[in-house]
Structure 1
C-alpha cells in the first residue's frame, strides 16, 4: 500500500482487491454489502478496463477479443465484466442510477499530476448517459461490451452522441477552495514568515531543506502513478478473461 495514498483510500472505504476473482470474491462481496448500509449518499467508482491503457496491454486485450469473438476496440481495452456485473447485482436497489463517464482530453494531450501542479491547462470532453442495465449477468456483460464499442465513436467523429452542454463557471467553488486553502495553510505561512524574519541562516537553510525534501517526496509518489511505471496487470500472456 502506497504511504498516505493507500491510507486515504482505506478511510474512503475503497474495496481493495488483488484482481484475482478466486481470492477477491469474499472481500469484494463483503465490501459491496457494507456499502448497501452506508448512511449517506455515496458514489461507487469502477474502472471496467481494470488497468491503464498502454500499447502492450491493448495488443494483448485485442487478442483476447479475437479469441472470444468480440468486436475489436481501437482506443480502449476490453472491459472486464466480472467486477461490473457483481457490483450491479450487489448494489441493485441501493444505488439509483449508473453513469457511464467517458473523459477525453483534446489535442491528444496526456495530463499528469505534475502537469496540474505546474499549472498546465487541459481541456476535456465528458459524457454522462444514464442507461438501463439487464439483471442477467451474461446480458449485463454484453451490455457493457456494446457500451465500450459505442465509446469508440468519439474518436471517429470527434464528438459524443447527443446535445453538447458546456457547464457554467462556478465562482463559489473557487472561493470555497481559496478559503479552505488560506485557513489550512495560514499556520505554515506564519511559520515560514517567522523563520525568515529570525535572520538565522541555519533555520532558513533547514526550512528550505525540509521544503525541498517534501517536494521531492511528493514528486516521487506521483511518479509511482505514471503509466510506464504502473502495474504489470494486463501484460501477461493471453488467458481467459472474466
Structure 2
C-alpha cells in the first residue's frame, strides 16, 4: 500500500469526509426548506432548484466512489441505445445484490447528467434518514410501506405528479423489493415453484404489482426501460466502508434498452421473463468475467469532484480556524467537547453507512408471503 493508500485509511481523513458530508447536507436541507414558499409561486422553478441542491449532496458520494476510491465502472450496452441515455426519461431496473449497487446506479446517472433529478421507489423508513431522506422528500421520491393495500393509492398519486416534471430523469427500480440474501432467495424460489415460475439462481422473484403500476402511471412520460445488471470483478463484495477506506473496485454494468406491453398481465409476464434473462447474464458473467456485447462507457466527469472540493474548502477552513482557536485558548473542557462532537459526527455517518449493509437489511422477504400478495 502506497502513502496515499495509507492516508485514505486514516481516521482523520474519514472524519473530514464525514464532517463535510454531514454539514453540507444539513445546509442543503435547510435551503430546501426555504424553497417551500416557492412551490406555491412557481412549482417548476422550485423543482429545478431542488434538483441542483440534491446534486450537491448525492454527487459527493459519487466523488467518493470515483475519485477517492478510484472505483472503475464499465458499461456494456448497444451503441445505438447509448445515444439516448440522458436525453430521455427512463425506468431503470436494477438488481439488488450489493451494498453499493445504488451508488453505482447514481454514478451512471451522473455521467449521463440526470443525477440531480433521478427518482426511486424507496421504503418509507428512508424518508426519516437525515440528509438523504430529507433531500429525497423535496425531489418527490416515491415512498412506500411495502403493504400493497396501503401503497397502491399513494404510489399512484406520487407517480402521476411526475407527469409534468421539467427535468429528464431516470426512475431507479429494484423489482425484487429487497436485497438478495441466501435465506430470502430460498423462500423466493419456494414461491416460484408453487406459482409454476422458472427458478432463478442469482435473483429473487420480482414483485410485479409495483412495477406494473409504475409503468402504467409513467407511460407517456417515460419512453423506455433500461435493464441494468450489475456485477463486480473477481468476486468482489464492495461496501461503503470499503469506499471510505479508499478501496478500489471494478463494477461492470449492462444496460440494453427495451419497451414493455401495456396490459397488466402481459407486463407482469414480461418482467418475469426479463429476470430469467438477467439470470442468464449473471451466469455468463460468473463463467467469463464479462457481460455479452460491446463496451460503450461514458467517461467520469469532473463535476462531482469540483462540487466535493468546493464543500471541503468552504467548510474545512472555518473548522481549522476554530480548532486552532480552541487549542490556543487552552481550555480542556472546550477541546474535549469539540472532540466529542467530531466523534459524534463520525458515528452518525457510520450509522448511515450501516443502513446499507446486507446483514442489517430489512426483514422483508425473510418469511413466505401468501401467493396472492407476492406479485
The verdict on a shared fold, with TM-score over 0.5 as the criterion, is yes
- The equivalent of 1:200 in structure 2 is 331
Unaligned ranges ≥5, structure 2:
1-124
Structure 1 range deviating more: 213-222 or 119-128: 213-222
Aligned to 2:171, what secondary structure does the other structure show? coil
- The equivalent of 1:118 in structure 2 is 245
1:43-82 pair list within 5 angstroms? 43-82=170-209
1:23 and 1:225, CA in 2 relative to 1: closer, same or farther beyond 3 A?
A: same
TM-score by length of 1: 0.90
Where relative contact order (Cα < 8 A, 6+ residues apart) is larger, the structure is 2
Match for 2:225 among 92, 98, 113? Answer: 98
Q: Is the 8 A contact 1:36 1:94 kept in 2?
A: yes
1:76 and 1:175, CA in 2 relative to 1: closer, same or farther beyond 3 A?
A: same
- The equivalent of 1:9 in structure 2 is 136
1:54 and 1:134, CA in 2 relative to 1: closer, same or farther beyond 3 A?
A: same
TM-score by length of 2: 0.60
> How many Å apart are 1:184 and its aligned residue?
4.0
1:134 and 2:261 are equivalent in the alignment: yes
> How many Å apart are 1:187 and its aligned residue?
2.9
1:168 and 2:299 are equivalent in the alignment: yes
Q: Is the 8 A contact 1:57 1:234 kept in 2?
A: yes
> How many Å apart are 1:52 and its aligned residue?
0.5
> How many Å apart are 1:173 and its aligned residue?
4.3
**What CA RMSD, in Å, does the superposition of the two structures yield over aligned residues?**
2.0
Q: Deviations over 1:131-157 (max 9, x none)?
A: 011111111111111111111233322
Paired residue total: 242
Looking at secondary structure, tell me which structure has more helix per residue: 2
Aligned to 1:102, what secondary structure does the other structure show? strand
> How many Å apart are 1:169 and its aligned residue?
4.4
Structure 1 range deviating more: 77-86 or 185-194: 185-194
